Amino acid sequence: MHTYNEIMTQADKLEKTNAIVQAQEFNEDAVDITLFTGCGTSFYLAIAAARYYQAVTGDLALAVPASELFLHESTYILPSKSYRIISISRSGTTSEIIIALKHLEGATNIKTMAVTCNGNTPMAEITDEVIALNDISEKSVVMTQSFANMLYALQLYAAKTSKCVEILEQLNKVPALVRAALENGEQLKQVTEDATKTRFIYLGSGAYNGLAKEATLKLKEMTQTECESYSNLEFRHGPISIVDKETVVIVFTQNETKEYDQALVKDIQKLGGFVIVIGAAEEQLQADLVIRLSEELDDANRLNEVIPYFQILAYQRAVFKGFDPDKPRNLTQVVSL
Ligand code: F1P
């Protein structure tokens, strides 16, 4: 089972990723906007990374699907502003990423950087700088440790850019905390092995919204379950009407959202929904299942600690339903147009 092995070895790879990014020197030229881009999982990673980057550096950061950059360039790129486009792709060969980078090649207001698990690809060739995590070579179609590691690389990059020693110190603790989280997934079986649960919804705000989106993609790819994600309080504005006894809602909670989250959890439970809350121990929220994360890190730097839970949830569900998690229906490792 490649997917299982790739999920369970992600912490070892995080240590290598840390060493790679810490040793690398980056172009420090200031730009107006840092624009993160990718497709599928790599786009959801871009959302989390952009929000993390802006919060940590104080510089404007956005996330855009790679296809939008060549289909609607003027919607996202202003000639009067300078950009660093950070293109994210496990394979480094996904069509839209290559088309977007070629489309923008030569623009004097654009610098580029690639983040990839293969530093020897067309994407790496046409970008100014590359973070290459060559040690990660997933066999599964589904991206798991590549997602965790490329996100971690970009968090380290943001911390280095900000020159904030405290943030780097926090990020150095991540591999050990992820290793502990990977041992803690058994408790999810009370929902993943419950055939009466048919609908899964992930809620995450800020950078966690990128994780919520990626969590639904894992479940879709591995189990072909229809599932949705929202920013926590957006769920109240219509989507909550679908909650019933078959619905599981997984809430990524943070310090800023915890009071609102507790009220939301109660309202979902009143409608019959089963709620899993994932957040730091200090938050002490009440739900049907509370997964307590460590208190060693602040919310922004705890992103990676959440990833094992949603990857394991999708994997357990796939096994329970008799699917092969390595081979999602209708999908290949690299999408070519
Ligand atoms: C992006 C992606 C994945 C998806 C599948 C097809 O790949 O869309 O998100 O799971 O593997 O490709 P990449 O650009 O990161 O290689």
Instruction: Supply the pLDDT for residue 289.
Output: 97
User: Which residue, chain included where needed, has tokens 């959801």?
Assistant: 44
Whether 2-172 shares its CATH topology with 179-321 is answered yes
Mutate which of 115, 133, 334 for ligand 1 pocket (most atoms within 8 A of beta carbon): 334
Distance 302 CA to ligand 1 centre (A): 24
Distance 99 CA to ligand 1 centre (A): 15
Residue 292 pLDDT greater than 80, yes or no: yes
Q: Does domain 2-172 have CATH number 3.40.50.10490?
A: yes
Buried b (16+ CB within 10 A) or exposed e, 102-139: eebeeeeebbbbbbbbbeebbbbebbebbbbbeebebe
* Spans of all domains in the chain: 2-172, 179-321
Distance 225 CA to ligand 1 centre (A): 18
Q: Does domain 179-321 have CATH number 3.40.50.10490?
A: yes
Mutate which of 2, 3, 41 for ligand 1 pocket (most atoms within 8 A of beta carbon): 41
Helix or strand run (H / E) with residue 249: strand 247-252
pLDDT in tens, 312-331: 999 999 999 999 998 888 88
Distance 247 CA to ligand 1 centre (A): 28
Across 269-297, average pLDDT: 92
Instruction: Assess whether the C-beta atom of 90 lies below 6 angstroms from ligand 1.
Output: yes
Residue 92 pLDDT greater than 80, yes or no: yes
**Residues ≥6 apart with Cβ < 8 Å to 327:** 141
> Predicted confidence band at 108 (pLDDT cuts at 50, 70, 90)?
very high
Instruction: Supply the pLDDT for residue 333.
Output: 82
As for the ipTM of the complex, it is 0.96
Instruction: Assess whether the C-beta atom of 233 lies below 6 angstroms from ligand 1.
Output: no
pLDDT in tens, 182-223: 999 999 999 999 999 999 999 999 999 999 999 999 999 999
User: Which residue, chain included where needed, has tokens 């690299």?
Assistant: 334
Amino acid at 183: E
Distance 74 CA to ligand 1 centre (A): 25
End-to-end CA distance of the chain: 29
Amino acid at 41: T
Residue 282 pLDDT greater than 80, yes or no: no
Instruction: Supply the pLDDT for residue 226.
Output: 87
Residue 79 pLDDT greater than 90, yes or no: yes
